[in-house]
Amino acid sequence: MAKVVVLGAGISGHTAVSYLSKYLKKGHEVVMVSPNSNFQWVPSNIWVGVGLMTPDQVKFKLAPVYKKMGVNYKQALGVSIHPEGDKENDKGYVTIKYVSEEKKDTVEKVTYDYLINATGPKLNFEGTEGLGPKKFTQSVCTYDHAAHAWDNLQESFKKMENGERQTFLIGTGHPLATCQGAAFEYILNIAFEINKRKLNHLADLWWITNEYELGDFGMGGAYIKRNGYITPTKIFTESILKEYGVRWIKQAGVSKVEEGVVHYENLKGELKTKEFDFAMLIPGFSGAGMKAFGKEGNDISEIVFAANGMMKVDADYTVKPFEEWSAKDWPLNYQSSAYKNVYAAGIAFAPPHGISKPMQSPNGTKIFPTPPRTGMPSGVIGKITAQNIIHQIKTGKIEHPHEASMAKMGAACIVSAGYGIRKGQAAVMTVNPIVQDWEKYPKWGRNINDTVGVVGTAGHWMKLFMHYMFIYKAKAKPFWWLIPE
């Protein structure tokens, strides 16, 4: 009998548990440990943030789904990992603390034969003074945050309807923040709603980003096929923002937020401010904050985790100049670099380096996006991690027939720019691979035939269809496994 424990019920962890429960039947145990009682389809939080969907439309209760799957679900927070066991037992275990009402604050040891760390990111609002929904800016990172953002956005709309001009500032709230795509989608939806209400003459829309050039998106930008031409994502992105009446501030590392004003430093080292009435800024991400301990109780966190708290896996973490970074540095199977029966999936794994070129101001402030790993990559990584563990349990062989390097994996991103069967639009962009491979694709870094961008109503229909399709899949409805990640 094998016991597999998964930490985190986000896209990656939930995908892993779904496959584990399907293919590991009698005689094996699958355990999910997550502090969340709900699954949320994060990409649709954008629509919650502009009042086009409710939180109930993007979430569902986990307990009934896991009961149907036969998964042992523990609504608890992973506190520490003990991969060597302790003095009493050699078996690896995790320490968890329950958050559910019936067992609140109860601490338990959960042993495992295999562990998947899919805890996702800590939303590090504390990394920027004054940032976050409890302070001076909004967020769309969770459905609760998005609902709160919508409440505040409506206040701005009411002021505009009464003739008061409003400044909207959307983008990244930390010099090393990722998820530019989510913020980009949000500002386009705000612009759409303002236009729908015929309030454009009272709106100042600003995009603030840590990207060196617009369209970097933490991937070093891309060249895309569009209307028969090869176009850099810089031009693609700038043209969309111009169409929606958005101005921009790039190369900006936000350092502090006060009521109605953002403080930032640019790559020239200049310290500047930007006033706002409504701001939604994506925070920096860090690891979930778990610790790791050895058999004697000694702290081995530095062996298991990188400095940012994310787990070190089968990647090349050698510190080297940007010019020497390679597609080969990226992990293939997400196995812990220290323990063979431990894996990290989705955002929980530590990237070996950035994808975008690292930039630094004369003051020493690093200002550039960190690599994105949300959405499609997280789902794919969760799946192959589960498949490899299933293979090992069934064959007894420690091998990895399934691989998912981000330097070989393609991804599609659909950025909605409005809502409605006739009026909704979306920008659809595909890249392959996510991490540039300059040895294989010396001209563009990627396969130019698979890297495309287009804007239109069809993209919106596709995103709306995907919303319902992926929630169907996450609920483990009939034949869910036929739907790709």
Poorest-pLDDT segment among 14-23, 237-246, 391-400, 422-431: 422-431
Q: What is the pLDDT of residue 412?
A: 83
Token pair listed for 129: 């003074």
Average pLDDT value for residue range 252-267:
98
Residues 6+ apart with CB under 8 A from 243: none
CA 213 to chain centroid, in Å, comes to 21
> What pLDDT, on the 0 to 100 scale, is given for residue 228?
77
- Spatial strand order in the sheet of 452-456: 229-232, 223-226, 452-456, 426-431, 411-416
Long-range contacts, stretch 399-404, CB < 8 angstroms, 24+ apart: 400/332, 400/333, 400/335, 402/333, 403/332, 403/333, 404/332, 404/333, 404/334, 404/377, 404/380
- Assess if residue 224 is contained within a domain: no
Task: Provide the pLDDT for residue 429.
Answer: 83
Confidence of residue 421 (pLDDT cuts 50, 70, 90): low
Token duo for residue 462? 């596709």
Q: What is the pLDDT of residue 234?
A: 94
Would 433 be classed as within a structural domain? Answer: no
User: Residue 259 — very low, low, confident or very high, per pLDDT cuts 50/70/90?
Assistant: very high
The per-residue pLDDT for 464 is: 87
| Per-residue model confidence as pLDDT tens digits over 135-155 | 999 999 999 999 999 999 999
pLDDT of 411 reads: 86
Asked if pLDDT for residue 423 goes beyond 80, the answer is: no
Q: Which residues pair with 476 in a beta bridge?
A: none
Q: Is the pLDDT of residue 459 over 90?
A: no
- What's the mean pLDDT when you consider all of the chain? 95
Q: Mean pLDDT over residues 335-342, rounded?
A: 98
* In-domain check, residue 437: no
Residue 132 is predicted with a pLDDT of: 98
Mean pLDDT of 371-395: 95
Residue 113 lies in a domain: yes
Domain with residue 391: its CATH number is: 3.50.50.100
246-249, strands of its sheet edge to edge: 246-249, 203-208, 166-172, 278-282
The lowest-confidence range among 110-119, 226-235, 262-271, 323-332 is: 226-235
| 3-state DSSP of the chain | CCEEEEECCCHHHHHHHHHHHHHCCCCCEEEEEECCCEEECHHHHHHHCCCCCCHHHHEEEHHHHHHHHCCEEEEEEEEEEECCCCCCCCCCEEEEEECCHHHCCCEEEEECCEEEECCCCEEEHHHCECCCCCCCCECCCCHHHHHHHHHHHHHHHHHHHCCCCEEEEEEECCCCCCCHHHHHHHHHHHHHHHHHCCCHHHEEEEEECCCCCCCCCCCCCCEEEECCEEEEHHHHHHHHHHHCCEEEECCEEEEEEECCEEEEEECCCCEEEEECCEEEEECEEECCCCEEECCCCCECHHHHECCCCCECECCCCCCCCHHHCCHHHCCCCCEECCCCCEEECHHHECCCCCCCCCCECCCCCECCCCCCCCCHHHHHHHHHHHHHHHHHHHHCCCCCCCCCCCCCCCEEEEEECCCCCCCCCEEEEEECCCCCCCCCCCCCCCCHHHCEEEEEHHHHHHHHHHHHHHHHHHCCCCCHHHCCC
Q: What is the pTM assigned to this prediction?
A: 0.96
User: CA-to-CA distance for 300 and 328, rounded, in angstroms?
Assistant: 27
- Is 140 within a domain? no
| Minimum mean pLDDT range among 2-6, 28-32, 233-237, 358-362 | 233-237
Name 247's bridge partners: 206
Q: Percentage of the chain with pLDDT > 70?
A: 99
Inform me whether the pLDDT recorded for 56 exceeds 90. Answer: yes
Tokens, residue 464: 């709306």
Position 298 scores a pLDDT of 97
Q: Tell me if 199 is assigned to some domain.
A: no
Choice between 420 and 129, residue whose per-residue pLDDT is larger? 129
* 227 falls within a domain: no
How many domains, in total, are found in the chain? 1
In this prediction, residue 476 has a pLDDT band, given cuts at 50, 70 and 90, of: very high
pLDDT at residue 322 tops 70: yes
Q: Domain for residue 325, yes or no?
A: yes
| Residue 211 Cα to chain centre, angstroms | 17
Stretch 437-452: mean pLDDT, rounded?
92
- What is the predicted pLDDT for the residue at 123? 96
Where in the sequence is the domain holding 24, given as residue range(s)? 3-123+287-395
Min mean pLDDT across 122-126, 199-203, 367-371, 459-463 is at 459-463
